[in-house]
Amino acid sequence: MNTKKKTTIKDIANVLNISTAAVSKALHDDSRISKKTKKAVKQVAKNLDYQPNHLASALRKGKSNLVGVIVPRTNSNFFSSVIQNIEEVLNKEGYNIIITQSNESYKKECNNIDTLLFTQVDGIIASMANETIDLEFYEKVKAKGIPLILFDRGENDLNVDYIGINDYESSHVIVEHLVKQGRKRIAHIGGYKHTRIFNNRIRGYVDALKKHQLPLDNELLIESSLTIEDGRQKMEQLLKLKNRPDAVYIASDYAALGALQLLNELQIKVPEDIALVGFGNEPFTAMVTPSITSINQHSEEIGKQAALTFLNYKNKKTIKQTLNKIILDAELVVRESSAPK
């Protein structure tokens, strides 16, 4: 098999019979190199399909102008919106981003971190995978003196910057809304307790029930991975109870969609028989029938704040991070699934 040899600065120098140092300076528009030489060097570089080695350049300069972004998945409007806003802010400051996704896998998340560190990124902005409990790989980022900014899902123990919404208060807002609709038996399909944001949502749910003197029934509190299929399965589990819930608060719009699909198939009226509230305000929540009440997570602002937080570190020679939180208020978007017309 023939493999094409990668063009180097030395190849360009040999064609023009000049030094590699002169070629390097010409490619970087050094003022000490004449316009004629610069033009010749760039033309030969183009002819030979020369591609600069950004990794080598980053190693020399100690700066790559690259920022790594790790998300659990990119097929979510929340995460894609955060990424878009991170990129818009950083591009204006001369940075490009490298996007990786963990697919909720701890192992893949660790591989992503290793790849980004190898690429010499100037910072990492991340939202943790559902499986992540061990923080060793994130500690590795900190140990290298690279700014680490977490959003949506993060752990206080890392003592780094964090941007997100008030997950605990969100649960209070949701339960308060459902109580005002006359609901008395409210279930919660949540994420796994070991993930801080889902633990906060569960705590908020439990405390809100106590506040309104509603019974806390363990069979109404279910942990899950919050996929569409999970929403179907966990809703089916709740429907099999002798005393069904009259409202279900689900910690993800995707799981809420699965739950709604099942209820529609079984001709259980929403919200008349069972009210439904999701989380995330994904675009489809306004398009399905009935439309789904949900929490707006302020993805645009989270993305902007994450990027601006990184930029605060860009000119600092030594990075010493502490737990610094930017917490945005919860906003409930009420739709047909929880409030009758």
Divide the 341 residues of the chain into consecutive groups of 10 and give the mean pLDDT of each group. Answer: 68 88 83 88 86 62 85 92 97 95 95 94 94 92 93 89 96 97 96 92 97 94 95 97 96 97 97 97 96 96 97 80 90 93 61
**pLDDT at residue 53 in the model:** 65
Question: 184: which residues sit within 8 A by CB, 6+ positions away?
Answer: 214, 246
**pLDDT at residue 154 in the model:** 87
Burial 255-287 (b: 16+ CB within 10 A, else e): bbbbbbebbeeeeeebbeebbbbbbbbbeebee
**pLDDT at residue 27 in the model:** 81
- Compute CA distances 148 → 29, 98, 107, 142, 216, whole Å: 33, 14, 19, 7, 38
Nearest 5°: the CA angle 158, 166, 258 is: 100
Token pair for 69: 């972004």
Rounded to whole angstroms, the Cα distance separating 341 from 323 reads 44
**pLDDT at residue 2 in the model:** 47
**Secondary structure of residue 45 in the 3-state scheme:** helix
Q: Cβ distance 313 to 123 under 8 Å?
A: yes
Q: Cβ distance 83 to 139 under 8 Å?
A: no
**pTM of the entire structure?**
0.81
Token pair for 110: 């660790």
Question: 314: which residues sit within 8 A by CB, 6+ positions away?
Answer: 93, 122
Q: Cβ distance 184 to 246 under 8 Å?
A: yes
How many alpha carbons lie under 13 Å from residue 42 in its C-beta half-sphere? 13
